[in-house]
Structure formats: C-alpha cells, structure tokens
Amino acid sequence: MTTPAIDAHVRLDTHPRHSSAVTATLTGTRHDLTRGLLTAHGFEALDHRTLVMARIDREEPHWAEKAAHALTGEGITVEITTRLREAIDEEWEWANYPMPWCTREEVREVSNEAQKLYDDIRRGGLLIHAHAEDSHTIVAVGTYLATGKSIHLHGENHLRQIADVFDSPAQALVSFERLYGTTMRPGPAPMTDTEREAAEARTSLVTPPGEPEPPTRAPKIVPAHATGPGDHNAVLDEFLAAHDDWEKWRTWSDDTTHAIHESQTLRIEHVHEAHLHETAWTVAAYETPVSDRAWHLSATGSTPVPVLQTLLGLITDNAGWDTPIGRPVDEQTITAAAKPLTDAGWKHTVDGRWTRWTNPSEDAGVQFDAFAAQRPDSFLATWTIWAGPSIDQPTWAIHASPYAPAPVIAGLAAALVHDTGVRHQQRSRARPRPPQLTAVSCAAAPTGPSVQPGRLR
C-alpha cells in the first residue's frame, strides 16, 4: 500500500560554504514531522526552515540520500538538486587510507562510529578528561556520563575509535597516565580543522567577508635548510621535464609517483601527501636491474626545495657511485663526506657511536652512526642530515644507508653550508590527509600483513 503524501516538501542541496555538507530547506505545513525525521538522520536545525548536515568524514551526500529515502517513505516530497546528486554519485577514496583492505561500505562503517564518538563529545554525553599525543596522532581518555563507563580513544576525525574500556574514571586515568604521561594534557584536544569546518557549516550558510590581504613583503633570503618545504610536486615535475632518461608512473591509488632511470638501477619514489615528518622521498640504487638494493636515502615531507634539488642533481650526476658494495664505511669515506663541514669550521663532537657536525647557530647538522654503519640490514640510518631545534626534534631530515656514496653526502653537506633560498611558509596539498592510525579494525581486515604496492625494496 502506498503511503499517502502529506503537505511537506524538503529540498536537499550542497552547502554554499562547505563542499561536502548538505542543507535541507523545508516548505509546507508539516514541519515538526519533517524536522524530526531529518534530525534522526543527522541534520541539525539552523533556523525554523533550514537544517544542515555537517560530518567529520565528508560522507554527507551518502547519508543525505539515506535520509531522503526515509522521508519519501513517510510521504514527504524530497527534491535533490543536481549538484547534490553529482556529489552522491561521485566515487572517491581517502589518500593513504590506513585500512586499504576495507571495502567502501566498511570504510563508511568505521567513519560512522567515529562520527558517533564526535557527536557524543560535542554534545556533552562523553566527557574528555585528558588528551595526549601518540606517534603524530591524538589519544584521549573520557567517561560516558549516562553509564559511568570510561574509555581510551585513539585517532582524530573519521579515524577516532575506542581503544580500551574501563569500569571507572580512576582506572582509565591511571592507565592513560602510565601510557602517555609525558605528553598528557588536561581536557579535550584543540579542535581539528575538520571539526572547525563542520562547526562553521552548522552555524551559517553565509560566506564570511574575506580577510584583508596582508601587506606585500620582500622575499626573505635565508639558508637553504631554513627555507621551508615548498612545493615538492613541482620539484619532481621539473626534474622529470629536464631528464628524458627517466620514466615515471603513478600507483593505482594515485598517491605515489615512481621515477626510474633508463638503466633500471636508480629509482625515486615520491609520496605526494606524506606527513611533514614522515618519509616523502626515497632514492634507491641497485648494482643491476634485478639485484638487491645497494644503497638508499630517504627525505621527510618537510625537506626544503633547495635541498631536494641538490639531492636530485647529485644522483643524476652519478657522483661517487664507485662505493664498494659490502665493505664497511671507513675513516677515509667519513672524512670525504664531512669535508665541507670541517672546511666551514662546524663544531665537531664524538659521543660514543655518534660523530656529529653542527653549524654555529646549532639549528642544522650531520650525524654519522658507527654502529649502524656496520649493520647494512639494520633499519637505523648511518647518516642523518637535519635542520631544526635539535637532531632529536628535527624540522626535516634526510637519512642514508651505510653504502650511500660519500660524494652524495658531501654534496648535501655543502648545501647546508653554502646554499640559500627564499623562505616558504607551507607546501601545497591536493586533499586533506587523514591522520595516521596504528591499530584499527574493520569487517574485512586480513589476517596477514598488508602490502603497499610499489614500495622500493
């Protein structure tokens, strides 16, 4: 039997200020019923006739379509605009999603559980006692006021999940302090950009007036190591345009570009949306196209453009690729690699297994690890080239394996000593990257280790 139509009409459209958020405009006389159904499906009232759905997983079009089906089933007329229909039909996926084995529906399930936690926190049902930082993500401890159960939370935005459950706040807080005492802070963590955008979308449909343009300043020339990350994608594009003996290809997920020299013995991997403190570049050299990796270097996502340009120039010149494979690094190799630093009078210290050279301002340096140099299969870096507050908290870093050619290390050291550039405040990003997650589950999680296609081995 067909449900009789009632005097209510809902127009669903995209939010004028936030691309993923959805608005619902009501007409007709049955507002109470319509508003109640929309609220049950995630919409929140902005005024008497307008509601907004703004989520932290950017899945509003999907859930708005479900709401439309529910309204139609109750005899309410629903209009979906062309713009929203396009958003509903669009297929997209998170770059570098930490659970690549999950299906699209399973990803939505994980995100929806995170949305429920977010809603519980902002509506006061889940009281957050403290938060901390754990490996570049946020963890928190809180208590449900209705039940008295306490929980540990891991992650942010659409990856937030319950990590542990406790019978009392005291148990949860003691455990949380034991795990994260060094970075523990009272209360909830500051709002993420995603949470702030969602809150703004629920507040107003009006585009705020633009901020005045800041006064134009002359470019500031600084040492190369202090110029900021800049545009890494442009660095790779310029390199490939200038070297036709390199061929590139991108992974199926479109988040990584590989460049391979025509000899098949030198390869570059660039992860486009890597975190500033994670590996964004890997350069690997091989004796033959089918041999194991002979040596490699890696650079973090915050490495300045001038330093990257120097690195790519050095490997293109094939400088010093005569380093014997399988022979430990000797004193002659160390001396040759560090010559630009000693010539510049950088401070030279030896601390057990580590030999370090630091510039006069102590915000850049090079470290050699004698222990790592004797263990080619170790994950430890033999050479670390860095800049920032300290080598333990670098702004950026380049790590090199035992057999990295001394002229390549020397060239990078010379760039630290002599090169300059214009300071860059930030690099461009194509799409927000989700936070890293160390442990998460979904219905289709595999039992074996996950494999990331295209990694340089």
Rg over alpha carbons for the chain, rounded to the nearest Å, is 27
CA angle 373, 379, 380 (to 5 degrees): 45
Burial class (CB in 10 A: 0-12, 13-18, 19+), 122: middle
How is residue 190 written in tokens?
């500051």
Give the separation between CA 428 and CA 349, rounded to whole angstroms.
Answer: 38
pLDDT at 92: 73
| Contact call for residues 379 and 371 (beta carbons, < 8 A) | no
**How many whole angstroms separate alpha carbon 116 and alpha carbon 109?**
11
Q: Which domains does the chain have, with CATH numbers?
A: 8-89 (3.30.70), 104-201 (no CATH), 222-422 (no CATH)
Q: What pLDDT score does 282 carry?
A: 93
CA 240 to chain centre: 25
pLDDT recorded at residue 214? 57
Residue linked to tokens 């937030």: 160
The pair of three-digit structure tokens given for residue 393, joined into one six-digit string: 């908290």
Residue pair 412/368 in contact by the 8 Å Cβ criterion: no
For position 39, what pLDDT does the model report? 94
The first and second tokens of residue 370, run together, are 């004698």
pLDDT at position 380 is 82
pTM listed for this prediction? 0.48
DSSP collapsed to 3 states, the chain: CCCCCCCEEEEEEECCCCCCCEEEEEEECCHHHHHHHHHHCCCEECCCCEEEECCCCCCHHHHHHHHHHHHHHCCCEEEECHHHHHHHHCCCCCCCCCCCCCCHHHHHHHHHHHHHHHHHHHCCCEEEEEEEEECCEEEEEEEECCCCCEEEEECCHHHCEEEEEECCHHHHHHHHHHHHCCCCEECCCCCCHHHHHHHHHCCCCCCCCCCCCCCCCCCCEEEHHHCCCCCHHHHHHHHHHHCCCEEEEECCCCCEEEEEECCCCEEEEEECCCCCCCEEEEEEEECCCCCCEEEEEEEECCCCHHHHHHHHHHHHCCCCCCCCCCCCCCHHHHHHHHHHHHHCCCEEEEECCEEEEECCCCCEEEEEEHHHHCCCCCCCCCEEEEECCCCCCCCEEEEECCCCCHHHHHHHHHHHHHCEEECCCCCCCCCCCCCCCCCCCCCCCCCCCCCCCCCCC
Quick one: tokens of 268? 């570059």
Task: Spell out the residues 6+ positions from residue 26 whose beta carbon is closer than 8 angstroms to its own.
Answer: 8, 9, 10, 34, 35, 49, 50, 51
270, with CB counted inside 10 A (0-12, 13-18, 19+), is buried
How are strands ordered across the β-sheet holding 246-250? Answer: 246-250, 256-261, 266-271, 279-286, 293-300, 396-400, 383-387, 364-369, 354-358, 347-351
At residue 357, φ and ψ (nearest 5 deg) are -125, 130
Tell me the C-alpha to C-alpha distance, in Å, between residue 447 and each of 139, 442, 443, 450: 25, 12, 11, 9
> What is the β-pairing status of strands 221-223 and 22-28?
unpaired
Annotate 375-389 with b (16+ C-beta within 10 A) or e (fewer).
ebeeeebbbbbbbbe
Q: Which residues contact 250 (CB under 8 A, 6 or more apart)?
A: 256, 257, 258
pLDDT value for 426: 44
Bridge pairing between strands 150-154 and 161-166: antiparallel
**How far is it, in rounded angstroms, from Cα 219 to Cα 115?**
43
pLDDT tens per residue across all 457 residues of the chain: 455 566 789 999 999 888 789 999 998 877 788 999 999 999 999 888 999 999 998 899 999 999 999 999 988 999 999 999 999 988 777 666 778 888 888 989 999 999 999 999 999 999 999 999 987 889 999 999 999 999 999 999 999 999 999 999 999 999 999 999 888 999 999 889 899 999 999 988 865 555 555 555 556 788 888 887 888 988 898 998 898 899 888 665 567 888 999 888 899 999 888 888 888 999 998 888 888 888 899 999 989 988 999 999 888 866 444 444 545 678 888 998 999 999 999 999 998 889 999 999 889 999 999 888 888 777 788 999 999 888 888 889 999 998 888 899 999 999 898 888 776 544 433 333 333 333 344 543 333 333 233 334 3
454 token code pair = 């295209």
